[in-house]
Amino acid sequence: MLSRRARECHGQESSYFAGWQEYEKNPYHPLHNPSGIIQLGLAENQLESWIANNPEALTLRTDQGQSIFQDLALFQDYHGLPSFKNALADFMSEIRGNKVKFDPNNLVLTAGATSANETLIFCLADPGDAFLLPTPYYPGFDRDLKWRTEVEIVPIHSSSANNFEITTPSLEQAYERATKQLKLNVKGILATNPSNPLGTTLTRGELDRLIDFAMAKGIHIVSDEIYSGTVFDSPDFTSIAEAWSASKRVHIVYSLSKDLGLPGFRVGAIYSNDEKVVAAATKMSSFGLVSSQTQHLLSKMLSDKDMRARYVEENRRRLGKRKDEMVSGLGLAGIGCMRSNAGLFCWVDMRKLLREPSFEAEKELWKEMLFEVGVNVSPGSSFHCSEPGWFRVCFANISEETLGVAMKRIGDFARFRRGYDKTIKWVSAGTREEPYLGR
């Protein structure tokens, strides 16, 4: 007999994860499986690779050529290697324009941002407490923040009418619903900045609203800033650390997965000015440590300041270029995107492709895109968007050639769906060969 926690839902029963599973059954390959599903649902950065250009860094040796394998293979303190924490704190400052400095002693290393977010929730809330999250928000939070902590999420709803901006009324409404209707004890707000899935940075006005609200209610702010190094257009990124630097109720989650394209390394971090949070999180981090070998490799990488500057600049240039290619491709099909300046994805408006304005119609469209068009895109309902018809579409995890194939598939489908070309006969993804639409 399994435990209740093992038996219960753990936040992965959504179309967001279902799309990944279908892709894995039938992945696209230009030669071996040209009719397979193209993965546009994975926010992964494959556009720039420092390690591919610096293979010597993978050797476990000092700059003088001496092997350090034995040293790294022995037990390491879970506080982390000082060389890596110093380099990481310096890098975090650099990608924020050196407008704020980070103390390495306030950093806690974790096995990725998933572990960092869960650990923070364990530190800040008890089972049955609540966190407020602006919508739309990353679907994995339903697993990461709730499953083991037993903390509740209450959405802060937003609207496309103002580009999903966080407003004071929406904050108050969410707080009232949590405390009055649901009888929950609200412990904080968690916001992603830049936003996943919107691909936008929070404005200074939004940050000030969050800070004023948190101060008035006496609650915490957790700022998930794992996309902070992906900002490729104006306005510039403003960290919560810059806006409210001294508070012990502000906590930052960071990771190298998105900014450096290293999700498989599982490197995350918590930054807090509260020494009690740092102490508790450090003890909890023993359940998900970053290996000493990984820390050694990345400390060498991040200690090269010239490389860092070149890498970040080139990465931002490539992300901006790839985003423009996707926006242009979708635009040719009459599909619009919300203006974005960061991230690895676009927030795409497919409301005109819905048969009716409902979440049932959105799910139907998602299935058609997945099984007939052969592209996995993530529906807005899985991000708790309050308006049907929005989809997150990723652009940095595939080649430029594959993106072109995906844009053709979506464009052909959109023209067929909207009746632009009455001569088109739709061909199912399971039976088609290139081209994707027969005439």
Closest CA to 93 of 253, 229, 249: 229
- Is residue 106 helix, strand or coil? helix
Strand partners, 390: 349
Mention every residue, 6+ apart, whose C-beta is less than 8 A from residue 259. Answer: 45, 95, 226, 227, 228, 229, 230, 312, 315
Q: Report the distance separating Cα 422 and Cα 24, nearest Å.
A: 34
Q: Report the distance separating Cα 295 and Cα 265, nearest Å.
A: 10
Q: Which one of the listed residues 138, 227, 254, 271 is annotated catalytic?
A: 138
Is 258 designated active site? yes
Q: Give residue 421's Cα distance to chain centre.
A: 37
Q: Which one of the listed residues 258, 271, 274, 300 is annotated catalytic?
A: 258
> What residue spans of 125-266 are helical by DSSP H?
141-144, 168-176, 204-217, 240-243
Buried b (16+ CB within 10 A) or exposed e, 81-111: bebbbbbbbbbbbebbeeebebebebbbbbb
Q: Report the distance separating Cα 204 and Cα 223, nearest Å.
A: 14
Q: Which one of the listed residues 129, 224, 349, 412 is annotated catalytic?
A: 224
Is 224 designated active site? yes
What element of type H or E holds 108? strand 107-110
Q: Report the distance separating Cα 383 and Cα 133, nearest Å.
A: 11
The dihedrals phi and psi of 322, each to the nearest 5 degrees, come to -65, -40
Closest CA to 220 of 187, 252, 265: 187
**Token pair 């490197």 is at which residue?**
267
List C-alpha distances in Å: 301 to 33, 114, 224, 337.
Answer: 36, 23, 23, 35
> What residue spans of 156-270 are helical by DSSP H?
168-176, 204-217, 240-243
Active site residues: 138, 224, 226, 258
